[in-house]
Amino acid sequence: MAQGVWTIAEQREGEFRKITYEVVSEGRRLADALGQELVAVVLGSNMKDKAGELAQYGADKIIVADDPRLEPYTTDAYTAVLAQVVMEGDPAILLLGASAQGKDLSARLSARLGVAMAQDCTAFSIEDGNLVATRPIYAGKAYAKVTYVNSLPQMATARPNVMAINEPDTSRSAEVVDAAFNLDDAELKTKVVDIIKDEAGKIDLTEADKIVSGGRGMKGPENFKILEELAEVIGAAVGASRSAVDAGWRPHSDQVGQTGKVVSPNLYIACGISGAIQHLAGMSTSKVIVAINKDPDAPIFQKADYGVVADLFDVVPALTEEVKKYIQE
């Protein structure tokens, strides 16, 4: 009989990503609601010592699949290993993060397991002993509550920066066990030849607590400097709308929106962004949204918590200076 809540950890170069702590923390809440065990699954190379850290966030048991072929991530290898481990463990619920890696892996894994999967969820609950997942639909205009019919494990991914992270409890410990799996080289049809890293020290948009984004109203790539200055002062990442990316002003990795990155920071400052539906779909779950635009009828103001109808070239530099003064006080 399927039982227990399982979460799949995400790591890069031996360090857990923020989404891992979010998913494990949410898994703990669901496991408590069911009165069942929380298991975290870690894949990688030489991860056993690091894996024990997840006990502090609520894991009761940690299963480690350790193999040099699991570092770095490839869809083929991770799917092959996880399918074996999950089928052997038979969990009732299986959670992953809806990061770039998580979306890629979850789609392939759900197909391999032959189960339904709710993608990019913003909330979970337990009703009558079953998982209920809430996810945005119609580009974020509405939310659907999803349940599962004859599909175990009940599988879902959590949108980054939405689930609260538990305060780490250093007194907690968990059983750490080796996963039993067979990984045939014949199954591995892809190989990572090289990894080209982004700018050193740059904050990943999907993990950023604060984001300052610019759109077509920035008028050119050189003007993003004023957003970078504000971002540096407040410790934010810099994003961009699709129009700014299509114009070649910013790289695609900076794009926020349905066809870019879906973000949920605590603070999102939109500068010169009108608020096209695909952009709103990518940032509407931000905790606080501030819009700066000369057009009082810009759709972005309908989503904004605070709106400034003014020229961003006057407002942003002034805001940067005021924040500097506040920090110095």
Whether residue 200 is predicted with pLDDT greater than 60 in this model: the reply is no
Are residue 12 and residue 51 in the same domain, yes or no? yes
**CA dist 169 → 40, 52, 53, 172, 318 (Å):** 16, 12, 10, 6, 42
Instruction: Clarify whether residues 171 and 225 are in a common domain.
Output: no
Report the pLDDT averaged over residues 13-29: 96
Choice between 71 and 222, residue whose per-residue pLDDT is larger: 222
Q: Are residues 178 and 32 in the same domain?
A: yes
Q: Is the pLDDT of residue 57 over 80?
A: yes
- Return the pLDDT at 201: 63
My answer on whether 136 and 172 are in the same domain is yes
Q: Tell the burial category of 170 from Cβ atoms under 10 Å away from its Cβ (0-12, 13-18, 19+).
A: exposed
Averaged pLDDT for residues 300-328: 95
Residue 329: pLDDT band (50, 70, 90) is: confident
**Residues 303, 181: one domain?**
no
Mean pLDDT of the region 150-162: 95
Q: Is residue 140 part of a domain?
A: yes
The pLDDT value given to residue 220: 97
Same-domain check for residues 148 and 239: no
Q: How many Cβ atoms are within 10 Å of 73's Cβ, its own excluded? A: 16
Domain range enclosing 14: 5-187
Whether the pLDDT of residue 52 is over 60: the answer is yes
Residues 174 and 226 in one domain: no
β-bridge pairing 15-16 and 11-12: antiparallel
Among 66, 59, 57, CA closest to 85 = 66
Q: Are residues 165 and 298 in the same domain?
A: no
Rg (CA), the chain: 21
Cα 183 to chain center, whole Å?
A: 28
**pLDDT score at 9:** 97
Q: Is 98 in contact with 158 (CB distance < 8 Å)?
A: yes
Residues 97 and 228 in one domain: no
Q: Is-contact 37 4, C-beta < 8 A?
A: yes
Same domain flag for 161 and 209: no
Percent of the chain past pLDDT 90, that is, above it, reads 87
281 and 323 part of one domain: yes
110, part of any domain: yes
